[in-house]
Structure 1
Amino acid sequence: MRNKIAEAEMPVLTKGGVVIACPVCGQDDGLTLIIDSDDFTETPSFMKCDDSHQWAEPRFPRRMGAEFLALVEKTRPESLDWSAISGGN
């Protein structure tokens, strides 16, 4: 698989019983996770809310996004929309 950058709308996420929310506006549902398919590090993931506030979320490491994308590509590839990515899939 070649390196891909993707965005995924996420359900409400919690870590240690604390809801992950936008630090500016407080939105906690439908946050967008920005995924790098080759980044399996513990570096914080980038997230953004509907108001386009973007931040690095230390409670959601990049490896989790990469693992999520790999799982969806294997189990439900039809659910992925690559039309926004130059060159498609």
Structure 2
Amino acid sequence: MPKMIGVAVAWMRKEDWPRWLAIDPNFQPDYDHWLKRMNAAVQRLEAEGKLCEKVEIDPDEFLDWCRLNGCKVEPNSRATYAAQILAKRHDARH
């Protein structure tokens, strides 16, 4: 059984926010509101005993990944992409 490496949390940089808004019409329009919600979600997960790791996502690299994998630009795809990045980082360390 694979060892749990933690929960990957798709994390967006403030400077990338305009790009995210351009590629995903359903994206939360206010970065500060999104940031508060995401920090609260991470705190809830950690309070449940889960190890969370924020994974910064570049919007254009994510778009390329979506095209290659036939995925829609949506939250589930971002979560899957972040999880794959975290798994690769973990593999590279071990």
TM score, norm. by length of structure 1: 0.32
Q: Quick one: higher RCO (CA 8 Å, sep 6+), 1 or 2?
A: 2
Name whichever structure is richer in strand by fraction. Answer: 1
Decide which structure has the larger Cα Rg and report it. Answer: 2
